[in-house]
Amino acid sequence: MDDEQSIRDFISLGLRHEGYEVEVAADGHTGLRAVSSFKPHLVIADLMMPRMDGWEMCRAIAGDQHRGIIILSARDETGDRIQGLELGADDYLVKPFDFGELLARIHAVLRRRDPSRSRMVRAGDLSIDTGTRDVAVGKRAISLSAREFDLLLYLAINADQVLPRQRILDEVWGFNFFGDENNVEVYVRYLRQKLDDLQHERIQTVRGVGYRLRGLSSAPEPGA
């Protein structure tokens, strides 16, 4: 919920691209009706909305343990953050913001509100806990940055499939990212180093296309 259409469009397009169902509202009263009918798992609300501001919105909808609230605001005073959290918001993000950061905070709030969303993804001896974001190869824990984790998770979910570089870029970095496919190559190199995949047996390069993470076994194929 935000009175600025450009921000509503920016967030809703990004979240729909990520597979979320989205309902938008330009003011607090309309937003409150949308919460009642749409019954979202998460509400993203601006503080300075007409007809009903974000403070009133938090008071009206807080208390549902299955619904998260993230406040967006240009106001970055510590007192505003504290007030928002005390009124029941799960998080407070200051404008201007990066969509990737908003998405990470959404994931975190949804995991806290509904732990059942967490699941284990496995590819050979690689295991990824989507809730705790823990990664291990066998019994060896692997420490990854947020972007490295997202890339590895995407490769693992699509294990044994050849994924074009542009598709990886769109799905992991997002449609609003203005970089190029070199970002994919750089982060694949980071992952190979951390996974001790120096021979590229786990994350394979498919020349001229993209990458494939081998899911059936971490051992090389005969004759490879």
Q: For 184-194, how does the pLDDT look when each residue is reduced to its tens digit (9 = 90+)?
A: 999 999 999 99
Q: Quote the strand ranges of 115-198, DSSP E.
A: 120-123, 126-129, 135-137, 140-142, 163-164
Residue 72 bridge partners (DSSP)? 46, 93
Q: What is the pLDDT of residues 133-162, one digit of tens each?
A: 889 999 999 998 888 988 999 999 899 999
Residue 7: predicted pLDDT: 85
pLDDT at 115: 59
d(CA 61, CA 69) in angstroms, rounded, equals 9
Domains of the chain: 5-115 (3.40.50.2300), 120-213 (1.10.10.10)
d(CA 74, CA 102): 14
Over the stretch 113-137, which tens digit does the pLDDT of each residue have?
Answer: 775 556 788 999 999 988 778 899 9
Contact 113, 66 (CB under 8 A): yes
Q: Which two tokens mark 216?
A: 């059936």
Task: Using the Cα atoms of residue 29, residue 34, residue 35 and residue 40 in order, give the sign of their dihedral.
Answer: negative
Q: What percent of the chain is modeled with pLDDT above 70? A: 91
